[in-house]
Amino acid sequence: MEKLERYRPFSPLNCLSIASQLLAVQYTVQANMKLHSAPPFRAEQMGSLLRPDNLLAIREKIAQTGISEAEAGLPAVEQEAVREVVKMQQDLGFKAVTSGEYNRTRFWGLMWDEFNGTIRLQDAEASMFRLYHPDVVSLIEKDRKVMPGDSVIAGQKLSHSAATPSNLHELKLVQASLPESEWHNIKLTMITPAWFHMRYKQGHAYTPEAYSNDAEYFADVAKVYNSELRALYAAGLRNVQFDDPGMAYFCSQAFRQGWAEDASNTGTVDDLLDAYIKLYNDSLAGLPEDLHTGIHLCRGNFIGGRHFSEGSYDVIAKKLFEDLNVNTFYLEYDTERAGGFEPLRFLPKDKNVVVGVISTKLREMEDKEAVKERIFKAADFVAQGSGESRKEALKRVCVSPQCGFSTHESGYPLLVEHQKKKMSLVREIADEVWGQA
């Protein structure tokens, strides 16, 4: 916003001029607030936050002794932990508050386990999996098994109970920490509908009794997700962010090569990308217009800060940005692994991008001025593609850390004080670049 001149000789004409400028400023503020009185906000964060020790201790006690959550006192501790982390986010100036994913042990949670028709496999055979799939590689143990509890397939036709949506408990935890007038700011992170399909070899995401092909399977997955989202909307949710490492894997030449060399696959890797875009679009079909949707292309911040994929967005950007029916793309740009901002020239005018330029893997603080320059550079590529000015393009750009701070409940290089400093830096940069939420 341009500043008004402070010192000018007094005259009626000057008064009229100043009044006109004030009116123009008022309209500008109103327009900007209209644009960003709903998600995404200028300062964003990806959802998961470092868990408090007492919450981790109770979960460990449950795992080790087998006592119930109620006996261990988990509900009260969990609710208090969420209340405190919501307050922390608000104190740091963040509007889109999350649960910190405190009710989950891993970022994907138990959503798939709770769908009707799924089977959780224990000690699943590695032969079921695409061993070139980046995060599968990290889960395979020395005996070529997969970690227990990480393998879910459809054993029967998938269905959903709208009366008991999987993510309702988490939503209510955050709602209980806020006045109802602020519920619309709550952001719920949700695992991609393609999460378990992509890691299994062709035809292994479901039993032959359940589905005869991927198209049938995807159709029911979309129905389940659509029902879940409708139920959560009815409960007050207005902002959902899909966490999708798989979409970033399409940028990886190693994954693309692995797919091409896998004789069991049907179609090309780009056919799979098309199928996943359709799966998303079918999952979101017909939802209320005021439900903000976004997708986080996660490159990994797992135990020990491990990343899973490399490669520029160039190879998928045009198709992804133009064809995927979400409002916002949350993209990781913390290292050169993601390439440059050039693919942002394909961002349509009705969609936003959140550039993740603050690392959640490294304790060292980023240089604020250098980050601001990167944001301007990203906006320049958005402007180049849309024919806008930098100022106009900046209206569709936001800033965030590149990933969550704790996508698994333990084992991260950052401490709570580093997390707060990083989030404070995001807020400070947003204030200096845009001067609004």
Q: Which tens digit of pLDDT belongs to each residue from 93-111? A: 999 999 999 999 888 898 9
Domain check: are 10 and 103 in the same one? Answer: no
Domain check: are 10 and 149 in the same one? Answer: no
| Residue 309 belongs to a domain | yes
| Residue 37 belongs to a domain | no
Distance from C-alpha of 287 to C-alpha of 49, rounded to nearest angstrom: 29
Domain check: are 69 and 194 in the same one? Answer: yes
| Residue 152 belongs to a domain | yes
Domain check: are 26 and 52 in the same one? Answer: no
Domain check: are 278 and 233 in the same one? Answer: yes
| Residue 369 belongs to a domain | yes
Secondary structure of residue 329 in the 3-state scheme: strand
Distance from C-alpha of 107 to C-alpha of 125, rounded to nearest angstrom: 23
| Residue 418 belongs to a domain | yes
Domain check: are 224 and 306 in the same one? Answer: yes
% the chain with pLDDT above 90: 74
Domain check: are 241 and 344 in the same one? Answer: yes
Q: Determine which helix (DSSP H) or strand (DSSP E) holds 120, and give its type and residue range.
A: strand 116-121
| Residue 38 belongs to a domain | no
Domain check: are 68 and 25 in the same one? Answer: no
DSSP summary character for residue 2: P
Answer whether 358's CB lies under 8 Å from 400's CB. Answer: yes
Contacts 24+ apart (CB under 8 A), 136-144: 136/199, 138/302, 138/306, 138/308
| Residue 278 belongs to a domain | yes
Domain check: are 202 and 104 in the same one? Answer: yes
As a whole number, mean pLDDT of residues 106-130 equals 88
Structural domain boundaries enclosing 25: 1-32
Give bridge partners of residue 397 from the DSSP assignment: 353
Instruction: Please report, for the domain that includes residue 383, its CATH number.
Output: 3.20.20.210
Q: Grade residue 149 by pLDDT with cuts at 50, 70 and 90.
A: low
Total structural domains within the chain: 2
Give per-residue pLDDT as tens, 213-234. Answer: 999 999 999 999 999 999 999 9
Give per-residue pLDDT as tens, 300-358. Answer: 655 554 556 677 899 999 999 999 999 999 999 976 766 899 999 999 999 999 999 99
As a whole number, mean pLDDT of residues 379-387 equals 97
| Residue 399 belongs to a domain | yes
Backbone angles phi, psi at 290, to 5 degrees: -90, 10
Q: Grade residue 67 by pLDDT with cuts at 50, 70 and 90.
A: very high
Domain check: are 19 and 150 in the same one? Answer: no
- Alpha-carbon torsion, ordered 212, 218, 219, 220, to 10 deg: 90
Domain check: are 327 and 183 in the same one? Answer: yes
- What's the token pair of residue 158? 């998938």
Domain check: are 48 and 107 in the same one? Answer: yes
Answer whether 244's CB lies under 8 Å from 298's CB. Answer: yes
